[in-house]
Structure 1
Amino acid sequence: MITQLTQKVLILILMLLATPISAGDYRIETVASGLEHPWSLAFLPDGRMLVTERAGRLRVIENGQLLAAPVEGVPDSLVRKQGGLLEVLPHPDFERHPYLFLTQSVGAPRANATRLIRGRLKANTLTDVEILFEAAPRRSRPLHYGGRMTFLEDGTLVLGLGDGYDHREDAQRLDSHTGTIVRLNPEDGSVPTDNPFVDRDDALPEIYSYGHRNVQGLVWDAQTGILWSHEHGPRGGDELNIIEPGANYGWPAATHGIDYSGAIISPHTSLPGMEDPVHQWTPSIAPAGMTLYRGDRFPQWQGSLFVTSLVEHHVRRLTLDGVQVVDEEILFEEVGERIRDVRTGPDGALYLLTDKADGRVLRVDAPPAR
């Protein structure tokens, strides 16, 4: 039985956990600089860090130093507007299977697509490169590629895609990868037999969910079995979603946003048969990277989602109660730069990427003990 004293203690603990954190409760240090629009960050078991530059290069940070030479053997990307080299994701059992999964834009400015490749990392070279997937059809503008990835508990890989900007109506079609999340077997890019549309002749079998605008964050929470995703809206209507296989997330039939011209995209913010966002941002914050914090450096952040904001130049910490967002805190405004990615490091610190021509890798750590 919970006593009155126990209840008071629990309430006090919850109040302490809910107290906004101040800059004095963490410190930010620069790990590396001189990166050209860094897009994605990943960690290897031996302590190395990998960073993609949208300009098409994969870089290595070793023993705290950015190696001068990029990784060799990375195929060329279409580097145009939002396109280039995007996500890097190591195999979950990298020590036994030293593969990297990379997303990139390919093709020509008027005929381009998001591509997923896999290669084996040997020293500072990517070898045995294979194309596992390319979104179809190709699109006419180099915008809205998606590109974020994560592994699910069963070892399959999910990849978020965009609507190509000018092709938003196609996000409601199942015969196009436009505006979808796809699920693949990482060994060869084949389709898992339990994908939701494998038995439909009118649907592409890779599709896991659809009705997305431009997926920019994907996180699998092994503790809860939830796949979190966020995506850019237009003017307003950035969304945080929980992804279910086969579900339709509404774009552009239902949205909280309006067009950049001010025109109404849809009169509906919700429609039957379509999933509503768990949380939405209007006006837009332009969410980019996302991580679920399970580290030990910041106990008060346990179980929080962190979402970077390109527009606001900060990070949002979302406090969760199950599948609900119950609080939102703005952090790291002092960085003063577009923040493209946020990751939880194996050391329990948070790592940030700043998106500019002279971009940085930043480490957010607890202050030293006094």
Structure 2
Amino acid sequence: MNLKEEVESINNEIIEWRRDFHKHPELPFEEERTSNIVENLLTEWGLETERMARTGVIGLLEGEEEGKTIAIRADMDALPITEKNDVEYKSQEEGKMHACGHDAHTAMALGAAKVLSKYRHLLSGNVKFIFQPAEEGAGGAEPLIEEGVLNNPTVDAIFGMHVAPEVPSGKIGLKPGPIMASADDFKLTIKGHGTHGAQPHEGVDPITIGSNIIMSLQQLISREIKALKSAVLSIGAFKSGDACNIIPDRAEILGTLRTLDPELRCYLKDRIEEVIENVTQAMKADYELEYICQMPVTSSDPEFIEMIKEVNENMNPGSNFMIDEPSMGSEDFGYFLEEVSGAYVLLGIRNLDKGLIHPLHNPKFNIDEDVLSSGVELICENVLKYLNDEK
């Protein structure tokens, strides 16, 4: 078989799927239309389908010979953003947009499913397509795992790909080990005692206490963490009071912690609460802390990355793009990689000539559709390589 020609023969379909999804974006756990389209197509191509995690769709392609199982994950949800692109396939849903490329991920996974379904006789094992809901903050990976997506049959390896506007169009971004950070969010409520602004001695000021906490938390990074370690602690909101002459009784602080090291993550989580407890106690206040461990580090298996590197070099010589530094952004694909071996790679879409330069989550974000077929081919080639090598 000539896989490249097979993929090229359905390139227009892949683009049409992507544009259709782009016109009809759906927010996390609301991907009903997208899921229905995905499920109908997978069924048409002979895959066994199952619904999981409310709007997730799982498609199982069984090879003619027994073997291992590799999973392909594609996220489907959109963002609450109003699109500013002037294109024929512009979002028709006010305040919703595929500004993170999940429309492309879904379309490419469908393309791979269609192509591979024609060659199940070449598969010594199974391919499980995981069309995941709610990657954008709502956490779709965890409920899928809890509901058994990695079982029956047991998934031995998993592959994920994300379009990347920071990588040149057509290049494949590869990095062994950590490629994206863990993400923890916290909400701190400081409970003071309100009073007149002219009589601060009669109250407990949550604003000054909060200011002390924020400065102390920043010193955790600059004075307790080795300079060569990666950690980011950012405060995104500090809310308190609404009058110039009233010291309020409460303040609210919202923040996020990003790390690339699970041990460092645990250390900083404990230290954050210690700092908050000690500062509030010293300044005669109480507090409530809601700390949410959102997503783990996304870390690719070096051996799996080497396999992809070899496959891609054979496909498109010179298109490997080795990434030197991981991103401190986060991705819930890390939950899958905590359970099974696999890799998370980037598909470059940055094209200066076409004006495709806008970052993810930007209202003018768009992709270079010319690279979609390369993404589909890469998925297919890695599936065949993995299953055939295991044979």
TM-score (norm 2): 0.26
Structure with more contact order per residue of length (Cα contacts < 8 Å, sep ≥ 6): 2
* TM-score normalized by the length of structure 1: 0.27
Larger Rg: 2
